[in-house]
Structures are given as structure tokens and as C-alpha cells.
Amino acid sequence: MYGIQGRLTALFVVIVTVVLGISGTYAQISLGQELEVSNQRLREGVLTRLQTSLPSALWDLDKAKVDNIVAAEMLPPELVAIRVYDTSVGLFSGKVRRPDGTAVNVENERAIGGSPVVADLAYRDAGAAGSLKPVIVGRVVVNFSREQIDATLAAEIRRKVIEVLLLDLILVVALALSLRIVFEPLKQLRDGLSELATRGSDEVEELPEKRRDELGDVIRGFNAIQRKVKSIIRRTREAEDEARRAAQETAHALDDLRRTQESLLQAERLASLGGLVAGVAHEINTPVGIALTSASVLRDATEQVRQSVEAGAVKKSDILKYIDTAGESTTLVMNNCYRAAHLIHSFKQIAVDQVSEARRRFELQEYIGEVVASLQPKLKKSHIAVSIECPQDIVLDSYPGALAQVITNLTLNCVEHAFDPQMEGLIQIRVRLDGDIIEMAVTDNGKGIAPEMLDRVFDPFVTTRRGQGGTGLGLNIVFNLIAKQFGGTITVSSTLGQGASFVLRIPRITPSHEDSDEPHADAPLHA
């Protein structure tokens, strides 16, 4: 209903109807004017003839002549009645037209239709030629009807309406036949486009190219576009398949990278634990050696006293000497064994925490002291001191092994990067409680961090000691442990030549991984 073909047909029909209506209206107006002019001429002619022929007949009172004149004038159908009145007699003669069209004599003054026109009948006597004033002998009343004019106009209107309807019908049929030549190929194009849009490109057949007119050129262009679209879709599918394969390969590579990162993280932790084992073993060697030497001296002194007792030659001086030797030896053994036991206890707790990654409650100040004590084998080789400022009543419900890894990495990072060999320095570990948040600052007074490196210190494989044993994973491990294991944050600030400060903030009670939105072990290590 709202298609182009229907709108074009309606537009042409409206235009033709309006044009024919205007033309018919003009013709109707012109016809009406012509009929009015003709009717006026008829009136004037009838009255003129009656005024010419009736006065003499009426003067002579010749009724037969008057009747003949009236009957002759009644021939036109526009005349309804003619009545002739004598000035002395009254109605002298007249005729009226019946509905069947015949004219009969007027018998009385009954109502007569039509519009009456009255004219006086003046008689001029031939013998009185010198008279200036004619004599009025009577009057004539002529009734004219407009039925013929109205019937003619109505017939003309009917003819025009029928003509317009016939022309509209012919126009609709002609337009339907002619527009079909144009719209049939367009319909084929529409159906082809619809199928191309809703169905697979391989399922749509090309349109026939039999036409050799302008629409044939359009169809050939459509088929060319369809072939182009099919080619594009085929290449797109190939690209999508290639993209899916690339995505799968990327996913496999990402899995391999994650496993490699986990391996590097574990290797870094084990390397740190291995260094801790080597350092603790070296530290334990000295007190154990002293204790062993003291025990050996005590054993030799005891053997000498036993031999003297067996020989019965025990002297007071030998007993006193033995007592002094035994006292010194036991003192040395006790002190060195206590020292070794303390080192072993610290190492055992830290080593177990790092390997097991178990969660437990622990006192923070004591634990930081144990971690720093386990680092003494490396710290004693340098001229760097470590100071700890931590309140005694801070108890954490967290992962001590991961915290030991953080403190170890931050401290050793300061030792290895902040100070040159044989350079004296100070590393400060300061802790304060801010509500339920633990804020720990690890600060050194060393060389500081270059500005271009400050934004990348937590990135993996970023190190200033490439080729000198640096892996670039220490601070990256710290960042990931703080962010993912503890659900906290870590920031760094530094002024070149004035040292650096690492400030980490972690909850006193570490949230469980089930309640945390952060990724865990399967998350990438990149900060």
C-alpha cells in the first residue's frame, strides 16, 4: 500500500483528476454561460416576435390568429406558457406545456411554473401615422423554464465525471503495466538483497542477466557486488579461523608463560632459601666448632684426672686446675650451643614458613628479628647495619613465609643495589599500626634509584645488575606477594644520592583468597 508503485499511481491519478476537474469546471462554467446567453437571446427573440405580431391580431380581436402565433412560439421546450391579455377583455388566449411536452390552451389562472416575463403589447394604427404615442392593446406573459439548462449542465457534469473515471482507470491500468516493467526487476533485486542479508552467501544464487536495458545493467552490477561480498565473506571466515587458531596458540603460550613464571618464582624462593641454608650453615659452623673444641679439652682434662686418681697421685692443684678447665669449657659449650640453637630455631621457623606457606598467628616484632637474624651471614660481610622499630604488641594473622620473603627481598635489595662494596650504610625497618592496617617502611641511606628506573622497579626482569647475578624478579615477587597474597599495596620513593624508601600497607588480618577479588597463583607476575 505504501510502496513506490502505489504512491506513483496515486500521485498520477490525483494529478489527472485535478487537471480534468479544473478543465471540466472551466468547461462547465463556459457551457453555463453559453446556455444563459442562448436562453437570454431566446427570451428576447420570443418577446420581440410576440410584441411585433400580436398587437395587430389583438387589435382586430382575431383569436385564431393569436392562437396560431402563440402555438408557433411554444415550439421551443424552454417555454412553459404564453398568456395574452387584452386590456378590455382580460385573458384573451394562451397555451401551457404539459409534463409530457404537449401544449394546451390555458383555461384558468392556475399556478404556472417557470419564471414569468411580462411585456406590453402596443399597437400603432396605420391611419394615424401622425400620432406620436402608440396604443397599449394588451400584455403578454411568457413563462420560461431553466430545466433544459439545468438538465444540460447536469448531463455535462455526469459526462465529465464518467470521463475522469474512465481516464483514471485507463491511467491506473497503463501505469500498472508500465511500472511492472520497472518494479519486477527491482523486486528481484530486493529479494536477492534480503536473502543475501539473512542467509548464507553460498546459498544465494545470482539473478538472471537476460535484460539488455538499464535495469539489466543494475542486475549485472548487483551480481558483481554479490560475488564481491561472497569473496569478502570467504576471506573474513578464513581470517576468523586464523584468529581463532592464533587465540588458541596465544592461550597455550600464556599458560606456558604462567607456568614458567611460577617456576621462576619457586626457583627464586628456593634460591633464597638455599642462600639462607648456606649462610646459616656457615654461622653454625663456628659455635659448633668452639663447642666441639671445648668438649675435647674437657675430655682430655677429665682423662688426666682419671689417670691420676687411678695412680693414687691426685694433688689438690690438679683438682683445682681441672675445675677451672671444666668451668671454662662448659661455659664455652653452653654459650656456643645456645648460639647455635638460636640460629637453628630461627632458620627452622623461617624455612618451614617459606616452604609450607601456611597461615598462622605470629608476633611481628619477634618475627622480623628472626628474619633479620637469618640474614646475618650476608649482612656481616658488609658494613651495613639493620635497625628495627616495631611495637611489641602487634600480632598478625597472616602468612609468615610470604612476609619473610618480602622482608628478605627488600633487605637484600638494599644490600645489593643501594650501597657500593665496603660502603657503610643503615637499613631501617619501621612499623606502625594504622587501625587494622600495618604500615611497614624499609628505608636505606644509599645511592637511591634513578628517575628513569623508579616507575619500573616492580616490573619483572628489570635489574641494574644484569650479568652479575641479578634476575630482576626480587621486587616483582615482593609486589605480587603484597598485592595478591596479602591484599595490600606497596609504593616506592627515592631521591638520587639520598636513599630509597619502600612503604607497604597490609591488613593485620589477611583476607582469605575466597573473599578477595584479586587473582592468586594463576595470575601473571607482571606488576
CATH number at residue 485: 3.30.565.10
Does residue 482 sit in the same domain as residue 512?
yes
Among 141, 168, 195, identify where a domain stops: 168
Does residue 339 sit in the same domain as residue 426?
no
Cell of 434: 594504622
In the chain, the number of structural domains is 3
Does residue 340 sit in the same domain as residue 400?
no
Return the residue matching grid coordinates 638455599: 274
Contact, 394 vs 363, CB < 8 A? yes
Does residue 352 sit in the same domain as residue 368?
no
What pLDDT sits at residue 522? 38
Does residue 340 sit in the same domain as residue 383?
no
**Burial degree of 250 (CB within 10 A; 0-12, 13-18, 19+):** exposed
> 163 lies in a domain?
yes
Return the beta strands (E) in 145-253 as ranges: none
Does residue 96 sit in the same domain as residue 137?
yes
Does residue 268 sit in the same domain as residue 378?
no
> 92 lies in a domain?
yes
First-to-final CA distance of the chain: 66
What pLDDT sits at residue 521? 37
Does residue 380 sit in the same domain as residue 476?
yes
> 182 lies in a domain?
no
Q: Indicate the pairing of strand 425-434 with strand 384-389.
A: parallel
Among 306, 340, 356, identify where a domain stops: 356
Close Cβ partners of 179 (under 8 Å, ≥ 6 residues apart): 5, 8, 9
Region for residue 404 given its phi and psi (left: phi exceeds 0; alpha: psi -120 to 50; beta: otherwise): alpha
Cell of 440: 611497614
Does residue 465 sit in the same domain as residue 445?
yes
The residue range of the domain holding 31 is 4-168
> 174 lies in a domain?
no
Close Cβ partners of 481 (under 8 Å, ≥ 6 residues apart): 402, 405, 406
> 302 lies in a domain?
yes
**Nearest by Cα to 279 from 144, 382, 363, 163:** 382
pTM passes above 0.75: no
Does residue 21 sit in the same domain as residue 158?
yes
- Counting as low any pLDDT under 50, the low residues of the chain are 1, 128-129, 467, 469, 516-527
**Nearest by Cα to 225 from 207, 211, 240:** 207
Among 318, 334, 356, identify where a domain stops: 356
